[in-house]
Structure 1
């Protein structure tokens, strides 16, 4: 499992939803749709209509993969931080019941407000 307490993902950038769906096809339930997807160097975070899936690719070959499913129903609070003048990166913090805080950092150009709207729609 990803150590959400001590590490955050490398800055995530937009990733093609079709590619994310193909990468996660084996774990998605029938009919589950990918809304938004973001990828770092090897790891990714995908927002579907049912949950958030964090994919942690491990090892030298990348054959070992950890899929962490984060249900929207377990989100107690979230915070979005927009980019500033010199700091072009954005952040999303989520607080999950039973897990604690998850922090995701995004590269410039990610619509963090749109991501906040998606989370509001799924959690409020």
Structure 2
């Protein structure tokens, strides 16, 4: 992920090993990370059980909010791919009990098709 993408607020892919090491304390027993994205300090992680949104707060990033969303709570999603002039991809998630979607942006190098395929399998069934 380049500095330009970080300044624009676009998340880029990170390795599952790096994400597993960073999240070892909050992952459940035998929970496996399937896809992970990083935006400066924040992370978006899809495991075999849930979506985890990590928001590191403050100057030092010591205060961290972990938002855990079970896949069964996601009622709908949209994936918008990059275009000629729009260089970022976008994911919107509608969560049961919330009226507004969670909107996440990704840089143009992110494989949104892999993310869409994983979400389809987890949300729409196998």
> SS where residue 117 of structure 1 aligns?
helix
Q: TM-score, normalised by structure 2?
A: 0.88
Q: Which runs of 5+ in 1 are unaligned?
A: 1-8
More helix by share: 2
For residue 38 of structure 2, what is the aligned residue in structure 1? 39
For residue 104 of structure 2, what is the aligned residue in structure 1? 104
Question: In the aligned structure 1, how far is the partner of 2:18 from the partner of 2:44?
Answer: 12
For residue 3 of structure 1, what is the aligned residue in structure 2? none
Question: In the aligned structure 1, how far is the partner of 2:64 from the partner of 2:47?
Answer: 19
For residue 20 of structure 2, what is the aligned residue in structure 1? 21
> SS where residue 101 of structure 2 aligns?
strand
Q: TM-score, normalised by structure 1?
A: 0.89
After the TM superposition, which parts of structure 1 deviate over 6 Å for at least 4 consecutive aligned residues? none
Tell me which of the two structures has the higher relative contact order, counting C-alpha pairs closer than 8 angstroms and 6 or more residues apart. Answer: 1
For residue 87 of structure 1, what is the aligned residue in structure 2? 86
